[in-house]
Each structure stands twice: as C-alpha cells, then as structure tokens.
C-alpha cells in the first residue's frame, strides 16, 4: 500500500516539476519576467492553500480509496490542460487547477500511514512515501527535457498527466482498508472546529509557514536559478538539475531511521521526533554558502545537502498528526496544517520574484537558509508534547 503512495507522490512531483523544467522555454515564449513567473506559482499556491482545507476532510469523509483516487485524477487532468496554455494568464489558470488536485496527495498519504503503520514505523513509512517527491523531481529534468527537445513542450504536460490517470485506476482496484480500522468512524471524524482549537493543530500549521516554502523555492526556482545565475542552457539543466533531488531522497529515509533509532533506545516520541527535526533543519542552512560560492559544483552539492535536510524534517513531521490524533482525522489535520504551508508558499513566492528581479538570488538563498529555525522554535516552544489528544466528549467530561 505504501508503495502505491510512493508512486502517487512521484507522479505528483513529476507533474509539478514539468513547469519548473520548461520554465526557461515558457518565460521566453510568453515574455514572462521573474515577477510574472512568480504570479503563476502564486496561482498554484493559492489553489493549493484553499484546497488543503477541503481535500483532507474530503478524504476522511469519502475514505482513503475513493478520496485519494479522486484528487489524483483531478490533478492529472489539470496537468494535461497545461498543453493548451497560450500565455501567462491561461498558464496561471491551469496551474490553479493543478494546485486544487495536488493538495490531496499528502493528506491521503498520511492517512494511509496512520491506517497501516505503528508509532515506531510511521516516520520511516512517511519518509518512504515522501521520497517519491524526490524520485519525481529526479526523473523530471532529463525526461521532460528529452520530450521537449523531441516533441515540444506541450507533449511533456500530456504525457505526465496521462501517467497519473493510470495510477488512479490502479489505486481503485488495489487499495483496501485494514481490517482493524473502523469504517464507521472513518465516516464521522472529530469536528473541524474542535481540531482548530487544539494547540497542536494551529501551532503545527504556523510552523509549516516557515518550513515548506523552502522546498517550494527549490522545486519551482532551481532550474531558473541555474539558467540565470549559473548560465546553464536547457540541456545542462536536464543533465544536472536532478542531482539535489536525488540526494534529497535519502533524507526521507535518514529522517525516518533517525527517529526509529531514538525510539528504540527508549527516548520518548516527543523528544525523538523533535530532535530529528532539529538536526535536519540545521542542514537546511547549507543554502547560505551555496549561493555565495563561485563554484557551480560546490553550489549544487550544498543545495543538495539543504534539500536533504528538508526531507529529513518532513519524514518526521508527516508522522506528527498520527502521534496525536486517531487515523480517522489525520488527513483533515494534515490538510489544515498544509494551509499554513500554502500561505507561506504564496507569500514567499511573490517575495522571491521581487527579490530576484530587483536584487539577486543571494538574499533569497540566505533567507531560505534561516527561516527553518523559526519553524524549529515553534515546534519546541509552542507545539507541546506529542501525545494523544482526547476526543471532544472526553475533553468535556
């Protein structure tokens, strides 16, 4: 089951990265500036933010099998629609539709983990399925560049969208709910208003404002950075842009292994998870020397280390909701928290476009190297212990 989620996540990022790889071509064809490109990213993040509030509860209500298939089919069709873009506004509309569907992947993934895995295995399982994002991003540059050079940029969007539709059909035929999960409870989760009042939910959401935009920067801007700041052509982007994502894939597994190792040594869930998050967040500061070094090879290596840090953090944070809440509401929890992620992504996307246009990539990399420490501070000082939250009836008794 987790292998299917891994594949869905890889396809999700293949769809998402197609625009990033093709961006240098489209920016020239559609006469887009860095600010114009940031607005296209903003459209994606706006939809992603809004729909996180919908997709999580939707998957909890419909069940993992139907809800996950529905969101994947939506984003796959939206990806194919990019082939009909004729300018910046139509591209932004199709990007908005893509964001609506892609918001469902992580709520669906964390729900599968909560249904199928124990506390000690959740971080590793989460890291495994989240490593699909790295695989999708690794495959994207060489694959998309090859398709663009052979057939044109429109075909690239059609091909990756079709792959997602095939996955949706396979998921409907294969997925089943574990025997020990109460289907009736899946249909009637905790009220959202109760969840929003818990310290865990709102502080977790705020922490993601300062964490996830770092990853969005790399997936949306790294190919353009290589072109404009390091003077790569499209063929060189296809040759080298996948390297940081390959390294990032190991962070998903290392983050899970670190937490599991600490838990097996008798360390509490709270300390084990937060310690792992802190260690990998410190690695994200590698972005600062990456933009300052004159050597392109060294810069790519340091960006790779920073991205590994992010995935190591995420492997553990994906397990947070299931440590605190029952499997019946974890998709909703992740959806709410990802609204913070989307909000941060929107704000920092516009800020990135403005900074690149008026200054350079230097302040951008420095900023994205530092802001993860804000998230870590919130996790340690505000989030509280990772222990089960009482159900509404229990809390009122």
Query: Quick check: is 183 in a domain?
Result: no
Q: Domain of residue 248: give its range.
A: 2-175+188-387
Low-confidence stretches of the chain (pLDDT < 70) are: 179-189, 391-397
Which pLDDT score is estimated for 391? 64
What is the rounded CA–CA span in Å between residue 67 and residue 52? Answer: 13
Which pLDDT score is estimated for 31? 86
Query: Quick check: is 393 in a domain?
Result: no
Which pLDDT score is estimated for 186? 47
Which pLDDT score is estimated for 306? 96
The answer to whether the CB of 128 falls within 8 A of the CB of 24 is no
Q: Tell me how far CA of residue 44 lies from CA of 132, 282, 365, 368, in angstroms.
A: 20, 28, 22, 20
Q: Tell me how far CA of residue 86 lies from CA of 27, 82, 89, 94, in angstroms.
A: 12, 9, 8, 11
Tell me the pTM: 0.72
What spatial distance separates the first Cα and last Cα of the chain, rounded to whole Å? 38
Query: Quick check: is 394 in a domain?
Result: no
Query: Quick check: is 181 in a domain?
Result: no
Query: Quick check: is 67 in a domain?
Result: yes
Chain centroid to CA 230: how far? 26
What is the rounded CA–CA span in Å between residue 52 and residue 333? Answer: 10
Burial of residue 320 (number of CB atoms within 10 Å: 0-12, 13-18, 19+) = buried
CATH number at residue 335: 1.20.1250.20
Which pLDDT score is estimated for 18? 85
Q: Tell me how far CA of residue 191 lies from CA of 206, 245, 341, 397, in angstroms.
A: 20, 38, 22, 17
Query: Quick check: is 145 in a domain?
Result: yes
What is the rounded CA–CA span in Å between residue 95 and residue 93? Answer: 5
Query: Quick check: is 182 in a domain?
Result: no
The answer to whether the CB of 314 falls within 8 A of the CB of 255 is yes
Domain count, the chain: 1
Query: Quick check: is 17 in a domain?
Result: yes
């Amino acid at each position: 089951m987790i292998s299917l989620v891994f594949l869905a996540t890889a396809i999700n990022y293949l769809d998402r990265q197609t625009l990033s790889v093709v961006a240098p071509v489209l920016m020239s064809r559609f006469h887009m500036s860095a600010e114009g490109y940031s607005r296209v990213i903003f459209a994606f993040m706006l939809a992603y933010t809004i729909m996180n509030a919908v997709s999580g509860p939707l998957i909890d209500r419909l069940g993992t099998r139907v809800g996950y298939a529905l969101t994947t089919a939506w984003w796959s069709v939206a990806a194919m629609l990019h082939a009909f873009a004729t300018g910046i506004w139509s591209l932004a509309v199709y990007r908005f539709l893509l964001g609506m569907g892609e918001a469902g992947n992580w709520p669906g993934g964390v729900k599968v983990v909560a249904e199928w895995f124990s506390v000690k295995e959740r971080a590793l399982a989460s890291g495994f399925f989240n490593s699909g994002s790295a695989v999708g991003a690794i495959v994207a540059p060489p694959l998309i560049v090859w398709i663009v050079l052979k057939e044109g940029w429109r075909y690239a969007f059609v091909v990756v969208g079709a792959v997602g539709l095939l996955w949706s059909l396979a998921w409907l035929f294969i997925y089943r709910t574990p025997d020990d999960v109460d289907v009736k409870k899946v249909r009637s989760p905790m009220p959202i208003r109760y969840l929003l009042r818990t310290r865990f939910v709102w502080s977790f959401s705020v922490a993601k404002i300062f964490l996830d935009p770092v990853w969005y920067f790399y997936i949306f801007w790294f190919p353009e950075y290589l072109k404009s700041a390091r003077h790569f052509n499209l063929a060189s982007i296809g040759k080298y842009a996948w390297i940081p994502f390959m390294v990032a894939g190991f962070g998903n597994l290392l983050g899970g292994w670190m937490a599991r190792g600490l838990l097996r040594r008798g360390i509490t869930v709270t300390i084990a998870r937060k310690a792992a998050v802190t260690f990998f967040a410190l690695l994200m500061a590698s972005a600062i020397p990456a933009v300052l070094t004159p050597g392109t090879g060294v810069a790519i290596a340091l960006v790779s280390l920073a991205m590994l840090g992010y995935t190591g953090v995420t492997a553990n944070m994906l397990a947070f909701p299931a440590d605190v809440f029952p499997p019946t509401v974890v998709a909703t929890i992740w959806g709410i928290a990802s609204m913070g992620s989307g909000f941060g992504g929107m704000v920092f996307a516009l800020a990135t476009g403005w900074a690149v246009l008026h200054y350079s990539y230097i302040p951008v990399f420095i900023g994205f190297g530092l802001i993860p420490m804000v998230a870590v501070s919130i996790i340690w000082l505000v989030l509280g212990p990772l222990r089960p939250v009482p159900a509404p009836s229990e809390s009122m008794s």
